[in-house]
Amino acid sequence: MRIAIVDRERCNPEKCNWECFKACPINRKGEECIVKGKKAEIEEALCIGCGICVSKCPFDAIKIVNTPEELEERPVHRFGKNAFVLYRLPIPKPGGVVGLLGGNGLGKSTALKILSGNIKPNLGESEEESSLDDISGLFRGTQLQEYFHEMEDEKRTVYKPQRVEEIPRMYKGRARDFLEKTDERGVLDQVLRRLSIENVMDRNLGELSGGELQRVAITATICRDAEIYYFDEPSSYLDVYQRLQMGKLIQNLAEDRTVMVVDHDLATLDYLADTIHVFYGEPGAYGIVSKPYSTRKGINAYLEGYIREDNVRFREDPVKFGIRAPTKERKVSSLLEFQKTEKKLGDFELTVEKGNLAKKEQLGIFGANALGKSTFAKILAGEMEADSGGPDRNVEISYKPQKIETGGEGRVIDFLSRVVDNPYSNDFKNQILRPLGLEDLLENKVSTLSGGERQRLAIGVCLSRDADIYLMDEPSAYLDVDQRLRVAKLIRSVSSRNEASCMVIDHDILFLDYLSDRGMVFLGEPGIRGRALKPGELEKSFNKFLDDVGVTFRRDPQTGRPRANKPDSVKDREQKESGNYYYIE
């Protein structure tokens, strides 16, 4: 079976004079595979998959993809003629946490919206509404048949959206006023303590950081009284400790309710989920949902890239996490030096030890939220003045902030043109666009991009500038596992090619371990005082940080991926006693 995707925003027959229609061999026979109209429409039943229309389209608006031969079933939902199609749905499990894992653009958020009642499934008939009998027929004999019948009885669901940065635009005022309206279960005070956000209650939502907004959104969702809860990427912007606390709260919630979670942090899913559904397919074209797996088997199947039950391989090479030997401190020439730096913001005080960034170095910066990492980045980037100290050398810094502001209704290509003389050049395509998966988004409006697409665009803009230092605040947010590894490789590649250094603030330890030469740790009391240690050996920095938050990691024997140890487990106690929190033999 073939699926034809036509991007309605890009398709412009007036400028191309129907080149795709004229070139199609089926149309020449009079059968009209491509139907003329205001926009191209491709009849999938007639398409022979020759790819001529794809190559002829000057706007890259057409995509023809083949689905697996074994897939002979009716879709659950399609967003319109020649648009994305979703096959199957994950199965909600009462009394447990169901995790959804897969690349971006494969329908995870769509599945959540269907199950939560925000989208009514049309069973592939985009111009018709499906009845309950039609939906029940598709899922006859499964738990989903009963689920949709129960939804007709108006079972209450709560949905935490992916893009928490949109919250201040929809709700004005203080966090306290926003959260008190959601406290239907009377658990607000308890959740605030567990997520450590009591100190933000009297601040306006627009003043909160990404991590604070994420915890506010999680709190609001948990405080609602419902039978079914859906969390879309709850770990973004949270530090390791906060992710584990969030996981415990969601597990407690699932004891007598149904909970489903989408996330790209493997350690978080491994920690909180009871079962896993893997999403695979062609991003933006179609997505397929696997059967439920146990958590470990589901994550390993995703990394292996092979769904045994469907006999489908969706990844050429399995993802393996190698254990890199810790780097030792070495003498190198300094690119940037900063004196002891102090900054006070309201009741918060930040102190940064004297340190330096070496030439051609990748420095990983990590620590709990609300300890001043973003404040330090703004001081380095010149967006904020230190009360004392700060950088003592004037270097060119390209800065990607935590909050991504794209603004306006322009296209992606227009946004890139602000920093790139020729964004259509082959060099720029090969070095930036293709590694970040931006080539197919150039004609899209920035306002329509997903969280992951916006993140990749912001990274692309940052790396496109001529700079001595690339400074990025949480570049892994909203990116899937594969995208995070590609971004880490790209940062190293661009920095090496430009003989520049890089400073990266992030909470994904695997991402930082892959990328960094040295580490810089922030310690202290969140929201009150932060203390940054000078950059040092990566192994010591990781152990210092994980010791501070009280978390240890072990390695999965099959894939080498890091897995958080259960608190006070045998492995947890052994590693803490040896002082080995992350690197293990």
Mean pLDDT of 47-66: 90
pLDDT digits (tens, 9 = 90+) for 293-319: 999 999 999 999 999 988 899 988 888
Nearest to 506, CA basis, from 363, 366, 400 = 366
Contact status, residue 356 vs residue 336, Cβ threshold 8 Å: yes
The whole-number pLDDT of residue 329 equals 56
Q: Residue 199 carries which DSSP code? A: G
Q: Residue 430 carries which DSSP code? A: I
Nearest to 213, CA basis, from 271, 268, 162, 266 = 162
The two three-digit tokens of residue 568, written as one number? 């006070």
Rg value, the chain, Cα: 25
Backbone φ and ψ of 363, nearest 5°? -105, 120
Give the containing element (helix H, strand E) for 443.
none
Residue 579 vs residue 127, higher pLDDT:
579
Mean pLDDT of 137-159: 81
The whole-number pLDDT of residue 358 equals 92
- Which residue, chain included where needed, has tokens 């599945």? 111
pLDDT category, 327, cuts 50, 70, 90?
low
- Cβ within 8 Å of residue 550, ≥6 positions away: 241, 567
Contact status, residue 251 vs residue 227, Cβ threshold 8 Å: no
Is the predicted pLDDT of residue 275 greater than 90, yes or no?
yes
- Cβ within 8 Å of residue 436, ≥6 positions away: 456, 457, 459, 460, 486, 487, 490
Contact status, residue 191 vs residue 217, Cβ threshold 8 Å: no
- Which residue, chain included where needed, has tokens 């020439």? 333
Q: Residue 467 carries which DSSP code? A: -
pLDDT category, 266, cuts 50, 70, 90?
confident
Nearest to 101, CA basis, from 301, 379, 335, 242 = 301
pLDDT digits (tens, 9 = 90+) for 487-514: 999 999 999 999 999 999 998 887 888 8
Is the predicted pLDDT of residue 323 greater than 80, yes or no?
no
**What angle separates helix 240-253 from helix 188-195, to the nearest 10 degrees?**
150
The whole-number pLDDT of residue 169 equals 86
pLDDT digits (tens, 9 = 90+) for 64-88: 998 876 567 888 999 988 999 999 9
The whole-number pLDDT of residue 441 equals 85
The two three-digit tokens of residue 127, written as one number? 């111009």
Contact status, residue 406 vs residue 449, Cβ threshold 8 Å: yes
Residues in the chain: 585
CATH 3.30.70.20 domain range(s) in the chain: 2-66
Q: Residue 432 carries which DSSP code? A: I
Give the span between the Cα atoms of 176 and 181, in whole angstroms: 9
pLDDT digits (tens, 9 = 90+) for 426-471: 999 999 999 999 988 888 888 888 878 899 999 999 999 999 999 9
Q: Domain 2-66, CATH 3.30.70.20 — does that match?
A: yes
The whole-number pLDDT of residue 33 equals 92
Lowest mean pLDDT across 225-239, 274-288, 303-317, 545-559: 545-559
Q: Where would I find the beta strands (DSSP E) of 198-274? A: 228-232, 258-262
Lowest mean pLDDT across 7-16, 68-77, 395-404, 562-571: 68-77
- Considering the chain, what percentage of its residues have pLDDT values greater than 70? 96
Nearest to 478, CA basis, from 271, 269, 237, 158 = 237
Give the span between the Cα atoms of 188 and 182, in whole angstroms: 9
Contact status, residue 112 vs residue 279, Cβ threshold 8 Å: no
Give the span between the Cα atoms of 282 and 303, in whole angstroms: 16
Contact status, residue 261 vs residue 231, Cβ threshold 8 Å: yes
Contact status, residue 363 vs residue 504, Cβ threshold 8 Å: yes
Is the predicted pLDDT of residue 584 greater than 70, yes or no?
no
Q: What is the pTM of this model?
A: 0.83
- For strands 275-282 and 286-289, give the pairing: antiparallel
pLDDT category, 322, cuts 50, 70, 90?
low
Residue 404 vs residue 432, higher pLDDT:
432
Residue 523 vs residue 10, higher pLDDT:
523
CATH 3.40.50.300 domain range(s) in the chain: 335-537
pLDDT category, 52, cuts 50, 70, 90?
very high
Is the predicted pLDDT of residue 385 greater than 90, yes or no?
yes
pLDDT digits (tens, 9 = 90+) for 573-583: 999 998 888 76
The whole-number pLDDT of residue 126 equals 67
Q: Report which residue type is found at 284.
A: G
The whole-number pLDDT of residue 69 equals 66
Give the span between the Cα atoms of 439 and 451, in whole angstroms: 17
Nearest to 366, CA basis, from 544, 190, 552 = 544
- For strands 77-78 and 85-87, give the pairing: antiparallel
The two three-digit tokens of residue 25, written as one number? 């061999």
pLDDT digits (tens, 9 = 90+) for 93-126: 888 899 999 988 899 989 988 888 888 888 888 6
State the chain's mean pLDDT as an integer.
88
Q: How many CA atoms lie within 13 A of 322 on its CB side?
A: 6
The two three-digit tokens of residue 35, written as one number? 């139907």
Contact status, residue 452 vs residue 483, Cβ threshold 8 Å: yes
The CATH architecture assigned to 335-537 reads: 3-Layer(aba) Sandwich (3.40)
Nearest to 494, CA basis, from 433, 431, 437 = 431
Q: By three-state DSSP, how is residue 64 classified?
A: strand
Taking the CA atoms of 120, 125, 128 and 132 in sequence, report the sign of the dihedral they define: negative
The whole-number pLDDT of residue 496 equals 92
- For strands 469-473 and 501-505, give the pairing: parallel
Instruction: Count Cβ atoms below 10 Å from residue 486 Cβ, excluding itself.
Output: 17
Q: Where would I find the beta strands (DSSP E) of 36-81? A: 41-42, 62-66, 77-78
Q: How many CA atoms lie within 13 A of 378 on its CB side?
A: 16
